[in-house]
Structure 1
Amino acid sequence: MLLKILLHLSQENAVSIPGVLIVSASTGTGHRRAAEAVEDAFAETVPWLPVKHVDLLSLAPRWVRTAYGDGFELLATRAPRIWGEVYRRTDAASPDLARWGPLAHRMLFREFRKLLLSREWGACVCTHFLPGQLAAGGAGIPPFSMVITDLTLHHFWAQPRVGRYFVASERLAGELRARVPHAPVEATGIPVARAFAGAPSRAAARSELGIDPDRLVALVMGGGLGIGVEETAQAAAAALVPGLQTIAICGRNAEAAARLRRRWAGDDRVRVLGYVDTVERYIAAADIVVTKPGGLTTSEVLAIGRPLLPRSGGGKCSGVDNLWRRGLRSLVGRGRGRSPADHPRCRSPGSDDRGGAGDRTAHGSDQNRRGRCGGPRCHAGGLAL
């Protein structure tokens, strides 16, 4: 992905590229993590190239940050069904013309406009659709490239003024071309940090984290906001899988973490954590990961090679409720003592007990970058963006 961005920026040679601006938006944590992965890859591969990463909302007035960023967090954590309905009702098969964008750019995002015009940027690479809505295609504005961090395509991602798109899969590329005819789209995968390619083995991760090496472990996550972790952890414990320990990472959802700790105090069947900086260690230590089907988290789990059980919520995925209701027992051989990773329905191509990339390089192969259903490619760090 990185090389394709560089080739897109300059028609002469890479030395002539004046600099790259990477723009994310702090609605959740996935957009920021993707931007950081791109930034780190540029720093490692072309360290001489000036690269700057900014959070778009940090450049906006406080009331805009509160309404846009905090409003998303409030709906996603407190009213996920309402958020899901908003997500569905704002979707459409047409591109998003965002006619309000240029006016909002001049009136509400003046600091962003100043940054775009402050120097000769070779390109602006966005991991959120809002920068494209505001400024893509404007006079004197650098060419925009957009990294779509979702596994499904929403109307807001289809920005006709964006110069190039990078998406998770060929299927998503086809959907985008249908909405934005002749759009330059590359199916590159979603960028994830290099740490996920270099994760430790399952045994090493468990030793480091103090997890029983012989116990079945289900890791429950809900992104940085901890969406749905409390309910999912309770359901995992209620599945009554013999010997199962559920590790719940609650992120910034302190209330959910407190309730889970009270409920499972003194019972090691559920281990509760808040926000962790080394989530790749916990993914590597797990037998199965249960999480919301967000693009970044899904890509990180697949990069390590752990089986993933998505749960519904937030409007980004549908049709997984019945799978979850059948419970974890079906994924561990219905009590026959088999690890979830050994179950044929959830084994990941290229996965092994090492937990990390095994013998995979950062580039990987199509077999290791895709699920058997032709799902998203997952690239970790460096040139494999």
Structure 2
Amino acid sequence: MNPDPVVLIVSSAFGDGHAKVAQAIEQSFRARGVDRVHIVDLFARVHPWLNGVSRAFYLKSAIYAPNLYGLMYGATSAMKPEDPLGRLLHSMGKRKAKGILEYIQPDVIIHTFPYLAASELGKESASEVPVFTVITDYVLHGRWIHPHTMKYFIPTEKIKEALLAAGIDEQAIKVTGIPVRDAFRKFPDPAKVLRKHGLKDGRRYILLAGGAYGVMSRVRNILKSVLDRTEFDLIVLCGNNHRLRTSLDNTYRNNSRVHILGYTDDVHELMSISFCLLTKAGGVTLTEAFAMSLPVIVYRPLPGQEAGNAESLTRQQAICTAFSEAELLDQLRRLEIYSFREEMKRQMRAVSHTESSGLIVDEILLAIKEQTSYAGQPLNEPSGKGKATSAHG
């Protein structure tokens, strides 16, 4: 019989990808009959003011001071948990975090975001709650590393090499890929998708994650270049960037080749009918596109983890990267070459693991089973844990 653990997934609203991975893991737990799953933005709960300031800095620096963010990222990338800065970041808010953990009483803690105060607390607890980490980028940063981690679930062999170089035991590393939600492992009927979104059969669509670029002039320049120099239509996703959506609506409302959307839960549908995705280099977004076999062009990746993601995946020929409008148009022409496109899809499949979340959950359940068996507790004995009733803390 499967154990019935209380699962705490530590996530974050930084960049949206961490939350998406947490949701994918939650879906796999529930598919296996494990319902006591709590997704908690622990840093936001423990330090709401500092979280707000940090998140605002992250978002604004991407637009106005990307090089500053890149310098800070690079300066801390080799950080070790025992360094003063590492100890500070991993211990911030431990007292408040302890109260949250005592309320939820997790049997397992899973990180999809590198705020690792819960790792410290998990080790300090009497039962030594097992802690797992799911790395959500294709480049390693020191903040992900913590000595109390039982196992790291990672996207590629390159990350494994980096962890080994950082002194992590090979037995504590498993290459699983980055988890994606169930919707990205299914292929909807193209005709139904076109009808649903008011799109035309026979047209070729570029899916542009417009909100990710922040600066409106850059999105406008991309749109103008593609419209003037190619025959592609564009679907522009503005996300929660309401100012961008209003501006583009005013400009393109009478242009049948441009379709402006705000936030949508149907990204997987739009990916399924698109020729390519033009986006930033967020690890989770790229992995979702890989799962849908959708070629990707990353345009002017931001310094930091996005530049690292783009460099790593471009080297593997799993994506294209463009640093100017001329390069963007050149990459679009290359994607129209059948052999080039098929080779890229082959490399995408080599990186992508569509069953990633299932592999991770099975590994965690096995670890819990072994730990419970070792402790001599029957696996089906109610533990009385998990006071919280909401799945999302």
Query: Shared fold by TM > 0.5?
Result: yes
Is residue 281 of structure 2 the alignment partner of residue 293 of structure 1?
Answer: yes
Match of 2:167 in 1: 180
Measure how far apart 1:164 and its partner are.
Answer: 1.0
Is residue 148 of structure 2 the alignment partner of residue 161 of structure 1?
Answer: yes
CA deviation profile, 1:10-53 (whole Å, cap 9, x unmatched): xxx742x6421111011120001100111111011133x52211
Is residue 339 of structure 2 the alignment partner of residue 344 of structure 1?
Answer: yes
Q: 3-state SS of the aligned residue for 2:124? A: coil
Distance 1:19 1:121 in 2: 5
- Amino acid paired to 1:126: H
Q: 3-state SS of the aligned residue for 1:165? A: strand
- Relative to structure 1, the CA distance from residue 110 to residue 133 in structure 2 (aligned partners, 3 Å threshold; closer, same or farther) is closer
Distance 1:153 1:107 in 2: 22
Distance 1:135 1:229 in 2: 42
Match of 2:375 in 1: none
Distance 1:109 1:290 in 2: 40
- Relative to structure 1, the CA distance from residue 22 to residue 65 in structure 2 (aligned partners, 3 Å threshold; closer, same or farther) is same
Q: Which residues of 2 match residues 2-17 of structure 1 at below 5 A?
A: 14-15=2-3
Q: 3-state SS of the aligned residue for 1:309? A: strand
Distance 1:97 1:230 in 2: 44
Distance 2:144 2:360 in 1: 23
Q: Which residues of 2 match residues 198-213 of structure 1 at below 5 A?
A: 198-213=186-201
- Amino acid paired to 1:189: G
| Larger relative contact order, structure 1 or 2 (CA cutoff 8 Å, min sep 6) | 2
CA deviation profile, 1:265-310 (whole Å, cap 9, x unmatched): 4223322211111111111121111111211101101111111112
Distance 2:285 2:152 in 1: 20
On the 8 A contact 2:193/2:270 being kept in 1, the answer is yes
Distance 1:181 1:311 in 2: 34
Q: Which residues of 2 match residues 241-256 of structure 1 at below 5 A?
A: 241-256=229-244
Match of 1:27 in 2: 14
Measure how far apart 1:106 and its partner are.
Answer: 6.6
Distance 1:81 1:268 in 2: 37
Q: 3-state SS of the aligned residue for 1:174? A: helix
Match of 1:127 in 2: 112
**Percent of aligned positions with the same letter in both sequences?**
25
On the 8 A contact 2:81/2:90 being kept in 1, the answer is no
- Amino acid paired to 1:165: Y
Q: Which residues of 2 match residues 1-385 of structure 1 at below 5 A?
A: 14-15=2-3, 18-47=5-34, 50-92=36-78, 95-97=80-82, 99=84, 108-118=93-103, 120-131=105-116, 135=120, 138-140=123-125, 142-182=129-169, 184-221=172-209, 227=214, 231-232=218-219, 234-239=221-226, 240-315=228-303, 316-317=306-307, 320-322=321-323, 325-328=326-329, 330-332=331-333, 340=335, 343-347=338-342, 371=348, 374-379=350-355, 382=358
Q: 3-state SS of the aligned residue for 1:344? A: helix
Distance 2:134 2:216 in 1: 27
On the 8 A contact 1:21/1:52 being kept in 2, the answer is yes
Measure how far apart 1:331 and its partner are.
Answer: 3.1
User: Structure 1: which 5+ runs fail to align?
Assistant: 1-12, 334-339, 352-366
Distance 2:83 2:101 in 1: 19
Distance 1:100 1:134 in 2: 16
- Amino acid paired to 2:107: G
Measure how far apart 1:64 and its partner are.
Answer: 1.7
- Amino acid paired to 2:62: A
Q: 3-state SS of the aligned residue for 1:371? A: helix
- Give the total of aligned pairs: 344
- Relative to structure 1, the CA distance from residue 242 to residue 102 in structure 2 (aligned partners, 3 Å threshold; closer, same or farther) is closer
| TM-score of the pair, normalised by structure 2 | 0.77
Measure how far apart 1:107 and its partner are.
Answer: 6.2
On the 8 A contact 1:307/1:346 being kept in 2, the answer is yes
Measure how far apart 1:329 and its partner are.
Answer: 5.1
| TM-score of the pair, normalised by structure 1 | 0.78
On the 8 A contact 1:123/1:142 being kept in 2, the answer is yes
On the 8 A contact 1:19/1:123 being kept in 2, the answer is yes
- Relative to structure 1, the CA distance from residue 212 to residue 193 in structure 2 (aligned partners, 3 Å threshold; closer, same or farther) is same
- Relative to structure 1, the CA distance from residue 233 to residue 381 in structure 2 (aligned partners, 3 Å threshold; closer, same or farther) is farther
Measure how far apart 1:242 and its partner are.
Answer: 3.6
Measure how far apart 1:205 and its partner are.
Answer: 1.9
- Amino acid paired to 2:130: P
Q: 3-state SS of the aligned residue for 2:263? A: coil
- Relative to structure 1, the CA distance from residue 119 to residue 165 in structure 2 (aligned partners, 3 Å threshold; closer, same or farther) is same
- Relative to structure 1, the CA distance from residue 161 to residue 323 in structure 2 (aligned partners, 3 Å threshold; closer, same or farther) is farther
Distance 1:117 1:269 in 2: 55
Q: Say which is worse superposed, 117-126 or 145-154, in terms of deviation.
A: 117-126
- Amino acid paired to 1:346: R
On the 8 A contact 2:10/2:112 being kept in 1, the answer is yes
On the 8 A contact 2:233/2:258 being kept in 1, the answer is yes
Distance 2:47 2:67 in 1: 29
On the 8 A contact 1:18/1:120 being kept in 2, the answer is no
